[in-house]
Structure 1
Amino acid sequence: MKAPLKTLVEISQLREELAACRAQGKKIALVPTMGNLHQGHLRLVEEAKRHADFIVASIFVNPLQFNPDEDYESYPRTLAEDQTKLASAGCDLLFTPSVEVVYPNGQENQTRVVVPGVSEGLCGQKRPGHFDGVATIVTKLFNFVQPDVACFGQKDYQQLSVIRKLVEDLSFAIKIIDVPTHRTPEGLALSSRNNYLTPEQLAKAPTLYATLKEAAKELAAGNTHFNELNHQARARLAEQGFAPEYVEIRNLDLSPASLTANTWVILIAARLGKTRLIDNLIVQRDSN
């Protein structure tokens, strides 16, 4: 019988464990999560194993990245199931600190990390302060673990962009590895928030990805009327019962889409009932 996944809750314990790994010359990877794990998270662990010898996952539901009207208290916490899944995926160590351990002086007195530019607009506009909370906890986790590599999913494209800039600007010696979005057979991007969807909404949710693909087909074929494509996508979502927050075509660095670019990213956010869903798709202009 496989031993339970080693789980630590104190920073000092974590650092002691990782110091021993480094003394053995092991390369360390970090997979930060908020728990309630699905196959997309486990793909991050599997990818981390390709780049490192010792895999650390973290589970921390970070209050700094939730707005007052969001679901921090009700966010699903499934530690026992998560431990089993991580162990099966090949994770070596799980770090699950409390809020008091991460923010010992309280959240109000916590130094914040702000990443300008890429954190603005899109989800940054709809969720004020969200990316400051993300950047702050990621910076703290990087300091706790001091990994050689860290893996993040492409589904949260703006978050990935924020983290890449953070690493560059603060000169972290960490390689950021992005992992493609894991989807259901119908195309819905896996997310812990999918658990909030009713069966009827779950059947409708893949429309989000279908809308992305429709816009991507036009874009790849040479239709660079960006505003028109955005409007058409929003209208399609609204017709299907979504409340679209944004559909935007951007350059890969999240600057406004340019006619001279050959590759773009389409980003989308919409509510289905009370559940907020996000997705994106990278599109390359056809060479023909």
Structure 2
Amino acid sequence: MAVYHRKEVLQKEISALKAAGKTIGLVPTMGALHQGHLSLVEEATRENDTVVVSIFVNPTQFDNKDDLKKYPRSLEADTGILYAVNPDVLVFAPDVEEIYDSAVTSDHFDFDGLEFRMEGKFREGHFDGVGTIVKRLFEIIRPDNAYFGEKDYQQLQIIKTLVGKYDIPVSVHGCPVKREANGLAMSSRNERLPAALRREAGFIFRTLQEARENFRTRTPESVKELVRERFGEHPEFRLEYVEIADAGTLETAAQKEKGKKYRAFVAVFAGEVRLIDNIALN
């Protein structure tokens, strides 16, 4: 397995592959890989001749510097896991200076208002950081296809908007949420949860499932109130927000409209660890 730390070296390899007519699939990650990431790599492997996995903890998308410091970093373990899935994966693991040169700042983007909803309300500058790193990875790697998990559904919609606005020649693929046995959405942050809290955290997905069942007969606002009530019964999980939104525009759903698709979104603090999850409602 080839691990690249310098973009110029990786670009030379990718240019040779493209000259040979090979398709390139990109899976951007921040490392601490789990089965959710690996499912993206598997999908990319099925659909492309060569797969690039980027491993980079992007400082500009963290509004909480303590969260950045605590984010797990495990390149050796990550490459071992990747090798078992696809030994021919190309790993791009740059340092901060390689991506940002001397100025570790994010660019500013207009994502048609998507950046101000949900996560954007609670994490100032987050989506500018996401847009900056994803756009730079697209420019460095020039993939034909890129793969993102639907756990970060708002991020997925942001990236689709980025590609459209900047006319970037890449097809963006959203892949289903992978879950632990108890339903907890797989996340690198799960490793920071105490064992007992991690077992109990299946409550988050069960609540989303209950919201989906009730969405058939109840208004969006009453379903959100139900979710708030359920979290009120479990004080070890602090609900930061619950939202029911149009699946395409992410606009808050005041009422259900025929023919539209909706999703429910939550952000939750389990102890000190912030988790997000979402579910399709129809």
Same-fold call, TM cutoff 0.5: yes
Q: Distance in 1 between matches of 2:230 and 2:256?
A: 24
Compute the displacement of 1:245 (Å): 0.8
1:246 correspondence with 2:241: yes
What is the alpha-carbon distance in structure 1 between the residues aligned to residue 275 and residue 232 of structure 2?
Answer: 14
Unaligned runs of 5+ in 2: none
Q: Does residue 283 in structure 1 map to residue 278 in structure 2?
A: no
The amino acid that maps onto 2:245 is: R
Aligned twin of 1:122: 118
For the pair 1:86 / 2:70, whether they are aligned, the reply is: no
**Other-structure match for 2:142:** 146
Q: Is the 8 A contact 1:250 1:256 kept in 2?
A: yes
1:119: Cα distance to partner? 1.4
Q: Which has the larger displacement, 90-99 or 12-21?
A: 90-99
Name the counterpart of 2:94: 97
Contact 1:115 1:135 in 2 (8 A): no
Distance in 2 of aligned mates of 1:238 and 1:154 = 27
Q: Deviation at 1:222?
A: 3.0
Quote the Cα distance in structure 2 between the aligned partners of 1:213 and 1:68: 30
Match of 2:158 in 1: 162
Aligned residue for 1:281, secondary structure, equals strand
Superposed, 1:166-177 pairs within 5 Å as 166-177=162-173
Q: Which residue of 1 aligns with 2:270?
A: 272
Assess if the C-alpha contact under 8 Å between 1:211 and 1:233 holds in 2: yes
Distance 1:207 1:86 in 2: 30
CA distance in 1, matches of 2:222, 2:262: 15
The residue that corresponds to 1:231 in the other structure is: 225
d(CA) in 1 for partners of 2:258, 2:152: 22
Deviations 1:249-281 (A, max 9, x none): 111121222421442111111101101010000
- Taking structure 2 as the reference length, what is the TM-score of the superposition? 0.95
C-alpha distance in 2 between matches for 1:261 and 1:32? 36
Give the 3-state SS of the residue equivalent to 2:111 in structure 1. coil
Query: Which stretch of structure 1 is more off in the superposition, 111-120 or 267-276?
Result: 111-120
Task: Give 1:212 shift.
Answer: 0.3
**Match for residue 38 of structure 2?**
42
- The normalised TM-score by structure 1 is 0.93
Show structure 1 runs of 5+ residues with no match.
Answer: none
Q: Is the 8 A contact 2:107 2:128 kept in 1?
A: no
Taking the aligned partners of 2:113 and 2:258, their CA distance within structure 1 comes to: 20
Percent identity between the two aligned chains: 39
Give the letter for the 1:206 counterpart.
G
**Could you report, residue by residue, the CA deviation over 1:190-239 in whole angstroms, capped at 9, with x for unpaired residues?**
000011111121121111000000000111x232x111111110221131
State how far apart, in whole Å, the 2-side matches of 1:18 and 1:69 are: 34
Find out whether 1:193 has 2:189 as its counterpart. Answer: yes
Structure 2: how far apart are the matches of 1:235 and 1:69? 32
Please tell me whether the aligned partners of residues 249 and 256 of structure 1 are also in contact (alpha carbons under 8 angstroms): yes
Q: Taking structure 1 as reference, are residues 70 and 251 closer, same or farther at Cα in structure 2, changes over 3 Å only?
A: farther
Alignment partner of 1:33 out of 29, 38, 45: 29
- Root-mean-square deviation over aligned CA pairs: 1.3
The structure with the greater share of residues assigned to helix is 2
Distance 1:85 1:112 in 2: 35
Letter in 1 for 2:39: R
Number of residue equivalences: 277
Which whole-Å CA distance do the structure 1 matches of 2:117 and 2:45 have between them?
A: 34
Displacement of 1:116 in angstroms is 3.5
Q: Does the aligned pair in 1 maintain the 2:62–2:126 contact within 8 Å? A: yes
Amino acid at match of 2:148: F
Distance 1:261 1:191 in 2: 34
